[in-house]
């Protein structure tokens, strides 16, 4: 890389006319790490990691005290590991000092980046904040190189609370108990239809939202996956992603799926499908939960339940069918992950969507359905109570679109709460 390119990248950052217009994320406070340490922001592309870095930089920035570099800038495509020195040299030339806070966006684009971070940490001149869109790559490489000198924060698409903020819909602790509850119920339906990618939420039309989500699916996820993992069985990956777009919030059997696509003329092995599902989790296209059991063998043998990291992707298939129950369960599942929980699902004498918490301490069982009515009440409560009996869950909840009541069944109290209220309260922290 030529020094003039490095100088121009740094000069553009220093000469910026303020920061882009920022809509603040409602996330736990993010502070830069101490000098010599790394904070990694890890999440799907287009989920707002870059703007979160802008937000952090705005909070700490003094006269030239921060430097934010997009490692995918076309001027840096020929960058070698040692070329990071050119960027720091340019910053010293233009400001007289090293940056106190160094932000490296999409750091995995920098060759041998983990060794570069270790070297920068050893100098202890800057606090370092990096972002990346591959969970396994960043967490594996950073933990190996830095050995305790880093913290990772997962950045998901917008939560329901953040969605309301981006749409200019205010609420407070009294809102659920006033006529505003109807507005919140309507906003929930919008959230389920739109998803949480910031640019999609701010789009002015349904057509533009669909165009953006289709583009994300085809370029940001599918093409990125094929290149990053050097995938040659492109047909298998395409069919797997298309299946997940229409069958999310449901058990996914690797054996059954493999047999189906083989019968349809797309050859694949269970090993390949399992590996591809892992890749989709690593790049935050999907997230899975396992069956609740202490047996690792049983967890491996049983299907996983698969969720879209952003439920907005459900509009991508040409034959879109609005399944509100699945969309609601998907939103609840991702909210649990966002809060740090690692839920499992229960399958026994009945089924329960989520069980989470610390065994022996505080375990909760949670069922999700669009409406609790005469047609499903017995089934939904039976699954919840069976899960509680087998896992020791203390708190039992049914999340619905817009119902609120307390049910007593077999001597157990079960809270039925509107999803908009549950999502705004935030899932219990893991």
Q: pLDDT (tens digit, 9 = 90+) per residue, 95-105?
A: 999 999 999 99
The yes-or-no verdict on residue 388 having pLDDT over 80 is: yes
Query: Which 8-state DSSP code applies to residue 83?
Result: G
Residue 366 pLDDT class (50, 70, 90 cuts): very high
> For residue 33, which of 189, 171, 149, 181 has the smallest C-alpha distance?
149
Q: How would DSSP label each residue in 245-295?
A: HHS-SEEE-HHHHHHHHHHTT----HHHHHHHHHHHHHTTSEEEE-BS-S-
Tokens 């509009």 — which residue? 315
The yes-or-no verdict on residue 22 having pLDDT over 80 is: no
Who contacts 302 (Cβ-Cβ below 8 Å, separation ≥6)?
Answer: 290, 291, 293, 347
**pLDDT of 17:** 72
Q: Which helix (H) or strand (E) holds 234?
A: helix 234-246
Residue 314 pLDDT class (50, 70, 90 cuts): very high
**pLDDT of 183:** 87
> For residue 284, which of 329, 228, 234 has the smallest C-alpha distance?
228
Query: Which 8-state DSSP code applies to residue 28?
Result: S
CA 95, 99, 105, 109 torsion-angle sign: positive
Residue environment code for 116-152, b if the CB has 16+ CB neighbours within 10 A, otherwise e = bbbebbeeebbbbbbbbbbbebbbebbeebbeebbeb
**pLDDT of 214:** 93
The yes-or-no verdict on residue 2 having pLDDT over 60 is: yes
**What's the whole-model pTM score?**
0.91
Give the span between the Cα atoms of 293 and 273, in whole angstroms: 24
Give the span between the Cα atoms of 67 and 88, in whole angstroms: 9
The yes-or-no verdict on residue 320 having pLDDT over 60 is: no
Query: Which 8-state DSSP code applies to residue 169?
Result: -
**pLDDT of 333:** 97
> For residue 255, which of 274, 241, 278 has the smallest C-alpha distance?
274
Residue 20 pLDDT class (50, 70, 90 cuts): low
Q: pLDDT (tens digit, 9 = 90+) per residue, 76-89?
A: 988 999 999 999 99
Q: pLDDT (tens digit, 9 = 90+) per residue, 258-271?
A: 999 999 999 999 99
Give the span between the Cα atoms of 298 and 310, in whole angstroms: 28
Q: pLDDT (tens digit, 9 = 90+) per residue, 39-53?
A: 999 888 899 899 889
Mean pLDDT of the chain: 89
Q: pLDDT (tens digit, 9 = 90+) per residue, 203-216?
A: 999 999 999 999 99
Q: Mean pLDDT highest for which of 153-157, 319-323, 367-371?
A: 367-371
Is residue 236 a contact partner of residue 276, using CB atoms and an 8 Å limit?
A: yes
Q: pLDDT (tens digit, 9 = 90+) per residue, 174-203?
A: 677 677 788 899 999 999 999 999 999 999
At residue 290, what are phi and psi to the nearest 5 degrees?
Answer: -105, 165
The yes-or-no verdict on residue 219 having pLDDT over 90 is: no
Is residue 184 a contact partner of residue 175, using CB atoms and an 8 Å limit?
A: yes
**pLDDT of 337:** 94
Q: Where are the alpha helices (DSSP H) in 15-134?
A: 49-60, 84-95, 113-123
């Amino acid at each position: 890389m030529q020094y003039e390119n490095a100088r121009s990248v740094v000069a553009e950052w220093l000469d910026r006319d303020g920061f882009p217009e920022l809509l603040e994320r409602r996330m736990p406070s993010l502070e830069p790490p101490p000098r010599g340490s790394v904070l990694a922001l890890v999440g799907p592309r287009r989920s707002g990691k870059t703007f979160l870095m802008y937000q952090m930089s705005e909070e700490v920035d003094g006269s030239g005290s921060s430097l934010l570099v997009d490692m995918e800038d076309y001027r840096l495509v020929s960058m070698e590991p040692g070329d990071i020195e050119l960027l720091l040299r340019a910053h010293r030339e233009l400001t007289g000092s090293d940056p106190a806070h160094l932000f490296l966006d999409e750091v995995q684009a920098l060759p041998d980046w983990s060794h570069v971070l270790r070297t920068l940490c050893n100098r202890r001149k800057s606090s370092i904040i990096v972002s990346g869109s591959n969970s396994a790559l960043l967490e594996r490489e950073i933990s190996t190189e830095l050995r305790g000198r880093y913290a990772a924060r997962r950045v998901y698409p917008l939560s329901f609370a953040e969605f309301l903020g981006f749409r200019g819909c205010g609420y407070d602790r009294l809102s659920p108990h006033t006529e505003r509850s109807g507005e919140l119920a309507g906003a929930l339906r919008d959230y389920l239809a739109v998803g949480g990618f910031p640019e999609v939420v701010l789009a002015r039309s349904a057509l533009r939202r669909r165009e953006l989500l289709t583009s994300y699916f085809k370029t940001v996820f599918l093409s990125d996956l094929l290149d990053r993992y050097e995938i040659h069985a492109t047909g298998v990956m395409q069919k797997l992603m298309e299946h997940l777009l229409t069958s999310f919030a449901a058990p996914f059997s690797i054996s059954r799926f493999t047999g189906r696509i083989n019968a349809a003329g797309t050859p694949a092995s269970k090993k390949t499908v399992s590996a591809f599902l892992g890749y989709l989790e690593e790049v935050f296209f999907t997230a899975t939960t396992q069956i609740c059991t202490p047996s690792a063998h049983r967890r491996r043998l049983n299907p996983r339940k698969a969720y879209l990291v952003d439920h907005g992707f459900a509009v991508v298939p040409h034959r879109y069918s609005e399944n509100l129950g699945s969309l609601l369960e998907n939103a609840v599942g991702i909210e649990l992950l966002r809060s740090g929980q690692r839920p499992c699902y229960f399958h026994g004498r009945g089924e329960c969507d989520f069980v989470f918490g610390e065994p022996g301490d505080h375990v909760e069982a949670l069922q999700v359905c669009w409406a609790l009515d005469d047609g499903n009440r017995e089934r939904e409560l039976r699954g919840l109570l069976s899960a509680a009996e087998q896992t020791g869950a203390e708190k039992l909840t049914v999340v619905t679109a817009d119902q609120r009541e307390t049910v007593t069944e077999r001597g157990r109290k079960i809270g039925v709460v509107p999803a908009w209220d549950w999502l705004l309260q935030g899932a219990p922290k893991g």
